[in-house]
């Protein structure tokens, strides 16, 4: 969480350059934003609460050293004063920060007793004041928690940065260098980067970058990496929002996976076959991909694979050993709960495989076996194409484990054709009309069985996170154990009924909700009289979950649009969850 960007170089428009970098990072946090530039020996700030919107930094002076920050608030309210950067007493030092400085209060009390004046409620301002009398490395070593910090002062023409847990990467240019919390923000300027590791510190000047171990002070030899991403992947093009663009990119993403990732599937299947116990872990949307994966491996490969929510896995992994395999799923590769659990698993000698969308991310680097989703840059906070990409890879892994990889490829190709039908103008108009019918409702319930149980959970999550309507995903068989009491006349009830062994049982659940007055929305391969509203989805065996999810994404998107919400930047959320 929080977007960080820094620049030092020969250009004089550093404030504008940093500001543009922040706009590309705003999905990491949009409670407030700020930019600081060194100009004529002074640090000049501009910072505001709220989204960047149509703001600019045209009133900031020229300079060739600047830092900027987009905030996802943790300490202190969403105000101009609490926005980063934060200054020291004299205004000679500016700091931006991603993470939580857990022991800041003990230092703040000491600083206040020495006469320091604080103007904000943040933990970050404590760092600025500590830097008045102590070297950067000393300050960072005393900070507890998971943090990334960048500091500048009004004398040295350099950026000083360090990380422990929270992501930070360096970009290398000609007579200029950059810092960012996400490598995608560096694409307009360079493709050559270095991802700082935990407990690494960098001093970045116009023509020199030196990396140290923050604990020992020893210099570290580092190797630049080249990104193969395209700048166009980070642009909206003809679409009004990134989320809609990324929804429509999904047929191509799944098609590419079916064509180009067969070798990766074979290697992954060998790992799973060799392991004595495989565990799928993920958070949020990725956790529902893991749950679906558990069904895929059971149904397709007759293999028992365990699933756990990433934030909970660290509390019940005492059984892991050197023959265990943990397969961690993450779009960003920076989700803190996943990283913490993976580190604990490594301490128990378990092998770590990862399925991530971001090359070079923290999870990617931590893993013994690295697998890429290949969905391309995803900027909408609510994950779409990375999720369907995860599902596609898990289907290939399951079929490969069963020795039927060719069949898995065909199943995905069928899913691609079904997705294209869902994205056709005719079906999209039906989904828009449905959104109009239910946009005023306070509660929505979603049911499914088997693989469709994870579909119901992800559908509810998408509706919640971008339209702010309370939605609950349920295993259809659990309706009678309590949730049926919540169904009233007119309550929207979404039922997923694919052409598989769960059809009859799912239909029974839909009938139970209908009998209590529910407005039943059937998403299925065929119409049934119990449906009050029907959206057709052609079957693709186990991969039917993929076009079903596309229906859910479009419904959530159009609910948000009908309510005049920004689907790319839902309130209180951020793209990468880099705090516990």
Q: Does 14 have pLDDT greater than 80?
A: yes
Predicted confidence at residue 233, as pLDDT, reads 65
Predicted confidence at residue 335, as pLDDT, reads 87
Query: Which residues touch 5 (CB under 8 Å, ≥6 apart)?
Result: 18, 21, 22, 25, 67, 68, 69, 178, 179, 180, 181, 185
**Confidence band for 477, pLDDT divided at 50, 70 and 90:** very high
Q: Does 549 have pLDDT greater than 70?
A: yes
CB 250 within 8 A of CB 256: no
**Confidence band for 28, pLDDT divided at 50, 70 and 90:** confident
CB 8 within 8 A of CB 176: yes
On the question of a common fold for 231-423 and 424-568, the answer reads yes
Measured CA to CA, the distance from residue 202 to residue 214 in angstroms comes to 9
Q: Which residue is catalytic, options 303, 370, 430, 575?
A: 575
Q: Which residue is catalytic, options 2, 283, 290, 493?
A: 2
Query: Of 173 and 316, which is predicted with more confidence?
Result: 173
Residues 242-247 have a mean pLDDT of 96
Q: Does 141 have pLDDT greater than 90?
A: yes
In CATH, the architecture of 3-227 is: 4-Layer Sandwich (3.60)
Residues 227-254 have a mean pLDDT of 87
**Confidence band for 232, pLDDT divided at 50, 70 and 90:** low
Residues 551-565 have a mean pLDDT of 98
Paired tokens of 392: 């596609």
Predicted confidence at residue 498, as pLDDT, reads 97
Decide the pairing of beta strands 443-448 and 369-372.
unpaired
CB 160 within 8 A of CB 152: yes
Q: Where are the domains of the chain?
A: 3-227, 231-423, 424-568
**Confidence band for 261, pLDDT divided at 50, 70 and 90:** very high
Catalytic residue check, 169: no
Instruction: Round to the nearest angstrom and report the end-to-end CA distance of the chain.
Output: 11
Query: Of 29 and 477, which is predicted with more confidence?
Result: 477
**Confidence band for 25, pLDDT divided at 50, 70 and 90:** confident
Q: Which of 22-31, 177-186, 434-443, 553-562 has the lowest mean pLDDT?
A: 22-31
Measured CA to CA, the distance from residue 487 to residue 404 in angstroms comes to 43
CB 77 within 8 A of CB 119: no
Predicted confidence at residue 146, as pLDDT, reads 86
The CATH fold of domain 424-568: Rossmann fold (3.40.50)
Measured CA to CA, the distance from residue 51 to residue 70 in angstroms comes to 9
Structure-token match 């756990």, residue found: 308
**Confidence band for 231, pLDDT divided at 50, 70 and 90:** low
Q: Does 13 have pLDDT greater than 60?
A: yes
Q: For residue range 76-130, what is the model confidence (pLDDT) as tens digits?
A: 888 999 999 999 999 999 999 998 899 999 999 999 999 999 999 999 999 999 9
Strand partners for 67: 6, 36
Predicted confidence at residue 32, as pLDDT, reads 92
Q: Does 440 have pLDDT greater than 90?
A: yes
The edge-to-edge listing of strands for the beta sheet with 225-226 is 42-49, 32-39, 65-71, 3-9, 176-180, 169-172, 192-195, 225-226
Percentage of the chain beyond pLDDT 70 is 98
Q: For residue range 203-219, what is the model confidence (pLDDT) as tens digits?
A: 999 999 999 999 999 99
Average pLDDT of every residue of the chain? 94
Query: Of 335 and 7, which is predicted with more confidence?
Result: 7
Q: Does 296 have pLDDT greater than 80?
A: yes
Measured CA to CA, the distance from residue 46 to residue 67 in angstroms comes to 11
Alpha helices in 358-450 (DSSP H): 362-366, 385-401, 405-422, 425-438
Catalytic residue check, 267: no
Decide the pairing of beta strands 93-99 and 147-153.
antiparallel
Q: Is the dihedral of CA 236, 241, 246, 251 positive or negative?
A: negative
Q: Does 229 have pLDDT greater than 80?
A: no
Give the homologous superfamily in CATH for domain 231-423.
Glucose-6-phosphate isomerase like protein; domain 1 (3.40.50.10490)
């Amino acid at each position: 969480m929080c977007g960080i960007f820094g620049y030092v170089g020969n250009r004089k428009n550093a404030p504008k350059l940093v500001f543009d970098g922040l706009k590309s990072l705003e999905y990491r946090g949009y409670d407030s934003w700020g930019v600081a530039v060194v100009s004529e020996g002074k640090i000049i700030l501009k910072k505001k609460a709220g989204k960047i919107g149509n703001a600019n930094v045209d009133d900031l002076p020229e300079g060739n050293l600047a830092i900027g920050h987009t905030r996802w608030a943790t300490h202190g309210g969403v105000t101009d004063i609490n926005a980063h950067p934060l200054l020291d007493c004299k205004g000679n030092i500016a700091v931006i920060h991603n993470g939580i400085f857990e022991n800041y209060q003990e230092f703040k009390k000491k600083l206040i007793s020495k006469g320091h004046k604080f103007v904000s409620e943040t933990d970050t301002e404590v760092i600025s004041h500590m830097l008045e009398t102590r070297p950067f490395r000393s300050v960072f070593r005393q900070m507890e928690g998971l943090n990334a910090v960048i500091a500048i002062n009004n004398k040295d023409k350099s950026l000083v940065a360090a990380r422990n847990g929270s992501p930070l990467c360096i970009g290398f240019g000609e007579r200029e260098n950059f810092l960012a919390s996400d490598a995608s923000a560096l694409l307009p300027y360079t493709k050559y980067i270095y991802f700082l590791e935990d407990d690494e510190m960098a001093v970045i000047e116009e023509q020199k970058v030196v990396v140290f171990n923050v604990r020992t002070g020893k210099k570290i030899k580092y190797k630049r990496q080249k990104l193969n991403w395209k700048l166009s992947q980070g642009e909206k093009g003809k679409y009004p929002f990134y989320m809609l663009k990324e929804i429509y990119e999904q047929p191509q993403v799944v098609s590419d996976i079916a064509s180009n990732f067969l070798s990766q599937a074979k290697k992954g299947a060998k790992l799973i076959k060799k392991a004595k116990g495989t565990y799928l872990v993920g958070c949020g949307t990725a956790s529902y991909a893991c749950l679906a994966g558990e069904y895929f491996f059971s149904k397709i490969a007759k293999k028992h694979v365990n699933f756990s929510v990433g934030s909970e896995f660290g509390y019940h992994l005492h059984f892991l050993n050197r023959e265990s395999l943990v397969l961690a799923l993450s779009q960003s590769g920076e989700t803190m709960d996943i990283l913490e659990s993976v580190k604990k698993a490594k301490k128990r000698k378990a092998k770590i495989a990862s399925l991530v969308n971001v090359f070079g991310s923290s999870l990617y680097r931590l893993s013994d076996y690295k697998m890429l989703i290949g969905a391309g840059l995803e900027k909408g906070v609510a994950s779409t194409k990375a999720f369907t990409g995860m599902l596609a890879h898990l289907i290939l892994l399951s079929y490969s484990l069963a020795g039927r990889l060719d069949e898995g490829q065909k199943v995905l190709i069928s899913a691609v054709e079904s997705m294209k039908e869902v994205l056709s103008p005719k079906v999209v108009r039906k989904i828009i009309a449905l959104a109009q019918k239910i946009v005023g409702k306070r509660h929505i319930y979603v049911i499914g069985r088997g693989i469709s149980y994870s579909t119901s959970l992800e559908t509810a999550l998408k509706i919640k996170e971008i339209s702010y309507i309370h939605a609950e995903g349920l295993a259809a068989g659990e309706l009678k154990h309590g949730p049926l009491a919540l169904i009233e006349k007119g309550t929207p009830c979404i039922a997923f009924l694919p052409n598989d062994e769960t059809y009859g049982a799912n239909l029974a659940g839909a009938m139970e909700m209908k009998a209590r007055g529910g407005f039943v929305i059937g998403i299925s391969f065929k119409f049934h009289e119990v449906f009050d509203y029907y959206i057709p989805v052609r079957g693709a065996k186990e991969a039917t979950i993929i076009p079903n999810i596309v229906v859910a994404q479009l419904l959530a998107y159009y609910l948000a649009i009908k309510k005049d919400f920004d689907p790319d930047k839902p309130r209180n959320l951020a793209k990468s969850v880099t705090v516990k």
